[in-house]
Amino acid sequence: MALGHGEVTGFALITDPVFYAVAIPAVLLTGLAKSGFLSGFGALAVPLMALAVPVPQAAAIMLPLLLVMDAVGLQQLWRQRDNALLRLLLPAGLIGVGVGTLLFGVLSSKTVSAVVGALTLLFLAQRLFFPPRREGVAPSRPLGFALGIASGFTSFVSHAGGPPISAYVLPLRMPPLTMTATTAVFFAVVNSSKCIPYAWLGLIDARNLATSLVLIPLAPVGVWLGVRLTRRIDPTWFYRLAYTGMFLAGVKLLYDGLS
């Protein structure tokens, strides 16, 4: 699909209305997911934007927006984080970003989408048909480290790091704000670490950056709204929405990967 061009502060800019018709809901949805409310739905952002632009370009446009959302999330949630869990997950996430950098262009985005979608649905099926005898019991630490790597990798490729990390943290049944704050810190570090590799790979250019700047005013809106809803929502409904988001993201990612 041909994209329109405009000029904003000397930068070429995407002006195709179809792009903004999918990009605006994607940004708002990501902000809500970043806050923990509608957790899991954030993985749908890049697939939505990919209806109008290629996946690498959608990922590059989303990165500055994610950094703004991360900053708002940290300001709102920093004190509620779980440091012990972050000590396990953060090194793994950074390894995943490194793997994503090295394999960029080797694995297609469709392959990654299909694998992430299939694993997400398998996790949900396991939770449905073979539920744990006791909720809140942590899965094994090696599994957490492996899922942290997977989250960093899929986050690098298409900002779809939510389902792998959710597969580890959701069974812990932490208070909603604690889970939200912990994943907010995790993705703030992971997203920041992607800036240099994205620039090195040529994904951050004037056109994508200009388009990001147009969308940036929307970035904090979903986060602010979602944090307020997360503080008020009943934990049972919080986790129901989280699992629903994972299911929809898994279906969409698998469909995109196989289509």
Q: What is the pLDDT of residues 30-45, one digit of tens each?
A: 888 776 666 667 777 7
CA 148, CA 32: separation in Å to the nearest integer? Answer: 22
User: What is the pLDDT at residue 232?
Assistant: 80
Mean pLDDT check: name the lowest of 6-15, 26-35, 67-76.
Answer: 6-15
Instruction: Over range 7-15, report the average pLDDT.
Output: 61
Tell me if 28 sits within 8 A of 222, measured CB to CB.
yes
pLDDT of 172: 85
Between CA 208 and CA 216, with CA 213 as vertex, the angle to 5 degrees is 120
Alpha carbon of residue 197 to chain centroid: 17
**Of 56, 80, 78, 61, whose CA–CA distance to 16 is shortest?**
61
Taking each helix axis as running N to C, give the angle between helix 55-77 and helix 141-158, from 0 to 180 degrees, rounded to the nearest 10: 120
For the cut 80, the answer to whether the pLDDT of residue 79 exceeds it is yes
Instruction: For residues 128 and 187, give the distance between their C-alpha atoms in angstroms, rounded to a whole number.
Output: 27
Indicate the pTM of the whole model.
0.78
Backbone torsions φ then ψ of 218, nearest 5 degrees? -80, -20
Per-residue pLDDT band for 138 (boundaries 50, 70, 90) equals low
Q: Check residues 19 and 119 and name the one with the higher pLDDT.
A: 19
**Percent of residues in the chain assigned helix, strand, coil, to nearest 5:** 75, 5, 20
Q: In terms of Cα–Cα distance, which of 160, 144, 137, 132 is closest to 85?
A: 144
Task: Give the model confidence (pLDDT) of 175-230 as tens digits.
Answer: 888 988 899 899 999 999 999 999 898 888 888 888 999 999 998 888 888 778 77
Whether residue 235 contacts residue 47, with contact meaning beta carbons closer than 8 Å, is answered with no
